[in-house]
Structure 1
Amino acid sequence: MSDRIVRISIDAMGGDHGPEVIIPGAALALERHPGLRFLLFGDKARIEAALDAHPALRAAVDIRHTDVAVSMTDKPSQALRKGRRVSSMWQALEAVKKGDADVAVSAGNTGALMAMAMFCLKLMSGIERPAMAGLWPTLRSESIVLDVGATIGADSKHLVSLAVMGAAMARIVLGIERPSVGLLNVGVEEVKGIEDVKEAGKFLREANLPGMTYHGFVEGDDIGKGATDVVVTEGFTGNIALKTAEGTAKQIGAYLRGAMTSSFMAKIGYLFARSAFTALREKMDPSRANGAVFLGLEGIAVKSHGGADARGIASAIDVAYDMAHYDLRTMIRDSLAATEAQRMSLSFAPDAEPSDA
Structure 2
Amino acid sequence: MPAATRTAFPNGAARTAAEAVAAGLDGLPLVVLDLDRARRRYTALREAFPWVDVLYDVSALAHPRLLAALAGADGGFAVTHDQALPALLAAGVGGRRILHATPVAHPHESRAAYDAGVRHFVVDGSRAVEGFAGAPGDLRVLLRLRPGLAPRPAHRAAGGMTAEEAVSTAVAARGLGVRISGLSLTLPEDGSPAEYVAEIVRSVGVAADIEAATGVRPRILDLGCGFPGRSGDRPAERAELARAIRGIVAPATSGVTVTAAAGHAVTAGCVAVVTDQARSDVDLATAGELIDVGAEVVVIDTGSSPHRFPLLRLPRARGGSEHRIVRRAARG
Q: Rg larger in 1 or in 2?
A: 1
TM-score (norm 2): 0.29
Query: Which structure dedicates a bigger proportion of its chain to helix?
Result: 1
